[in-house]
């Protein structure tokens, strides 16, 4: 039975956990909503809201006369699914690979499109990252640095993808703290300088190297 706080959210999390863990396979029917309400000890309104969120996340399809069927979430879902999945080492590696590619291309675009204020902010953040000896503070600065690069790239789709990856990061801050370890070896200043100079290819390669070095710290 679920607690009485945020019942629709808890229904959603219970069901999404079952789907992503494979307890409900693609094509399988979920139990009827009335049965779910009885099983979880909640009212029908909470179940309906939880199921509605599953539909919005493209994790289930509801068809009249056929009930609720689980979709193949790897084929139908969006990046927001990552925020609910139990990520193993392989999936985390894939998320970081996507992050590296996204950041490298964003850095190249940022070199062409950044404003003077954005260039100045990147230099300031790079300096602060080198100066701090606190890893928690460094994580916040790293997030701000990367967010500024994405913003300077001026691509809405890149921003939305980055938001989903950031959500995974924020939910696992302790696990990802190693990304900013030995940050004096990371090339934040080089990325900032290349973007400020408008050198797209140098910015791309500098960011790719930075992100790859961060990934290596998690192995």
* List of domains in the chain: 7-78 (1.10.10.10), 87-216 (1.20.120.530)
- The answer to whether 93 and 216 have CB atoms below 8 angstroms apart is no
| Residue 30 DSSP label | P
CB neighbours (10 Å) of residue 36?
21
Q: Which among 94, 195, 96 is positioned nearest to 150, based on CA atoms?
A: 195
- The answer to whether 108 and 204 have CB atoms below 8 angstroms apart is yes
d(CA 59, CA 176) in angstroms, rounded, equals: 27
| pLDDT recorded at residue 45 | 92
Beta-strand ranges (E) seen in 37-194 are: 60-63, 67-70
How confident is the prediction along the chain (219 residues), in pLDDT tens digits per residue? 454 457 888 888 888 888 877 888 888 898 888 998 998 889 999 999 988 888 888 888 888 777 889 988 777 777 777 766 656 677 788 889 999 999 999 999 999 999 999 999 999 999 999 999 999 999 999 999 999 999 999 999 999 999 888 888 887 888 899 999 999 999 999 999 999 999 999 999 999 999 999 999 988
Reduced DSSP (H G I as helix, E B as strand, rest coil) percent helix, strand, coil of the chain, to 5: 70, 5, 25
- The answer to whether 197 and 119 have CB atoms below 8 angstroms apart is no
d(CA 1, CA 123) in angstroms, rounded, equals: 52
| pLDDT recorded at residue 4 | 46
Q: How many helices (H) and strands (E) does the chain have?
A: 10, 2
Q: Which among 32, 35, 39, 24 is positioned nearest to 65, based on CA atoms?
A: 32
d(CA 97, CA 195) in angstroms, rounded, equals: 22
Q: pLDDT per residue over 50-60, tens digit each?
A: 888 888 888 88
CB neighbours (10 Å) of residue 134?
10
d(CA 128, CA 16) in angstroms, rounded, equals: 40
Question: Angle at which helices 135-153 and 116-131 pack, to 10 degrees?
Answer: 160
Q: pLDDT per residue over 153-162, tens digit each?
A: 999 999 999 9
Per this entry, what is the length of the chain?
219
- The answer to whether 179 and 146 have CB atoms below 8 angstroms apart is no
| pLDDT recorded at residue 218 | 85
d(CA 30, CA 39) in angstroms, rounded, equals: 12
């Amino acid at each position: 039975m679920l607690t009485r706080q945020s019942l629709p959210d808890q229904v959603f999390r219970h069901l999404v956990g079952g789907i992503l863990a494979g307890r409900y396979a693609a094509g399988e029917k979920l139990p009827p909503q009335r049965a779910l309400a009885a099983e979880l000890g909640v009212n029908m309104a909470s179940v309906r809201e939880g199921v509605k969120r599953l539909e919005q996340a493209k994790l289930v399809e509801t068809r009249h006369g056929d009930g609720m069927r689980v979709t193949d979430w790897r084929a139908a879902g969006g990046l927001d699914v990552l925020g609910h999945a139990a990520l193993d080492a392989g999936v985390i590696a894939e998320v970081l690979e996507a992050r590296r590619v996204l950041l490298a291309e964003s850095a190249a675009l940022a070199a062409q499109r950044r404003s003077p204020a954005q260039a100045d902010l990147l230099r300031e953040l790079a300096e602060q990252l080198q100066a701090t000896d606190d890893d928690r503070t460094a994580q916040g600065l790293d997030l701000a640095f990367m967010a500024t690069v994405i913003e300077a790239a001026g691509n809405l789709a890149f921003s939305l993808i980055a938001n989903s990856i950031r959500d995974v990061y924020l939910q696992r801050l302790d696990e990802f703290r190693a990304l900013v370890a030995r940050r004096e070896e990371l090339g934040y200043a080089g990325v900032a300088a290349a973007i400020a100079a408008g050198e797209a290819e140098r910015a791309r390669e500098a960011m790719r190297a930075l992100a790859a070095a961060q990934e290596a710290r998690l192995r």
